[in-house]
């Protein structure tokens, strides 16, 4: 059964955004700059964010220290943030290649919303759970350009705000995967309560709606 028959994608996008902090204009700008700096494949110094945004390091620290899902190294440089990590910080079955750099996503869905936010197309390779196969995609900032195999699906889970605040990776990301077919995905979802399937098109539309709701005051850029 298509998820759109059970759940409105606009409502689902709104419920996802509500699980994360509401972003002020400065926070939206900081979030996007952090994604784009992380996409260079190196740890991001907080001073670099302060310089990019022309704000104090105290402002950057206050914002980042108040957000869940921000991971730093011993030098307080950011190595992972809201769905995106550099590979030395997080080994993932979901990888993105952008501008010749390999990056790690926290779940399959991250690979669909990150290209729009970062402003670059990505070549994606995602290995499904329990040896269920590999899905490959090309995702541009404004569309999905390639899906192999063509019948691939994505599992999803309605997020719980409290659990997301505590640990978004184990409470949400571990349940969001690509599958090579609906049949394979349904078999996995039947063993994981609360999960359901989205087509790649539905998942991409949901990703775009989430981005629009979360970053409506600042423009995204495309390449």
**Residue 200's CATH number:** 3.30.450.410
pLDDT in tens, 29-83: 999 999 999 999 999 999 999 999 999 999 999 999 999 899 999 999 999 999 9
Q: Is 65 domain-assigned? A: no
Q: What does the alpha-carbon distance between residue 43 and residue 78 come to, in Å, rounded to a whole number? A: 5
Question: 115 Cβ partners below 8 Å, 6+ apart?
Answer: 96, 98, 121, 122, 139, 140, 141
pLDDT in tens, 194-223: 999 999 999 999 999 999 999 998 865 544
Give me the count of residues in the chain. Answer: 223
Q: Is the pLDDT of residue 137 over 70?
A: yes
Q: Decide if 125 contacts 166 (C-beta within 8 A).
A: no
Question: 86 Cβ partners below 8 Å, 6+ apart?
Answer: 38, 41, 42, 43, 79, 80, 103, 104
pLDDT in tens, 76-131: 999 999 999 999 888 899 999 999 999 999 999 999 999 999 999 999 999 999 88
Q: Look at the chain and report how many structural domains it folds into.
A: 1
pLDDT in tens, 1-35: 344 444 689 999 998 999 888 999 999 999 999 99
Q: Is 70 domain-assigned? A: no
- Domain range for 169: 3-21+83-214
Within 10 A of 103 (CB to CB), how many other CB atoms are there? 25
Q: Is 30 domain-assigned? A: no
Q: Is the pLDDT of residue 147 over 50?
A: yes
Q: What does the alpha-carbon distance between residue 139 and residue 125 come to, in Å, rounded to a whole number? A: 11
Expressed in angstroms, the distance from the first to the final Cα of the chain is 36
Q: Is 152 domain-assigned? A: yes
Q: Is 71 domain-assigned? A: no
Q: Is 76 domain-assigned? A: no
Q: Is 111 domain-assigned? A: yes
pLDDT computed for residue 8 by the predictor: 87
Q: What is the pTM of this model?
A: 0.93
């Amino acid at each position: 059964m298509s998820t759109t028959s059970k759940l409105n994608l606009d409502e689902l996008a709104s419920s996802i955004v509500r699980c994360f902090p509401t972003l002020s204009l400065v926070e939206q700008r900081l979030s996007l700059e952090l994604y784009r700096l992380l996409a260079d494949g190196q740890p991001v110094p907080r001073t670099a964010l302060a310089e990019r945004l022309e704000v104090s390091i105290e402002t950057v620290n206050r914002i980042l220290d108040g957000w869940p899902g921000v991971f730093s190294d011993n030098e307080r440089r950011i190595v992972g943030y809201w769905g995106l990590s550099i590979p030395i910080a997080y080994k993932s079955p979901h990888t993105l290649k952008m501008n010749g750099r390999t990056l790690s996503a926290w779940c399959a869905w991250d690979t669909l919303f990150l290209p729009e936010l970062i402003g670059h197309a990505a070549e994606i390779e995602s290995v499904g759970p329990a040896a269920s196969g590999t899905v490959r995609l090309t995702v541009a900032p404004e569309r999905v350009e390639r899906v192999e195999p063509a019948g691939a699906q994505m599992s999803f889970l309605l997020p719980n705000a409290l659990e997301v605040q505590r640990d978004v990776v184990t409470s949400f990301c571990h349940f969001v995967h690509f599958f090579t077919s609906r049949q394979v995905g349904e078999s996995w979802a039947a063993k994981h309560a609360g999960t359901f399937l989205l087509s790649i098109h539905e998942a991409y539309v949901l990703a775009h709606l989430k981005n629009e709701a979360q970053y409506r005051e600042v423009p995204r850029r495309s390449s």
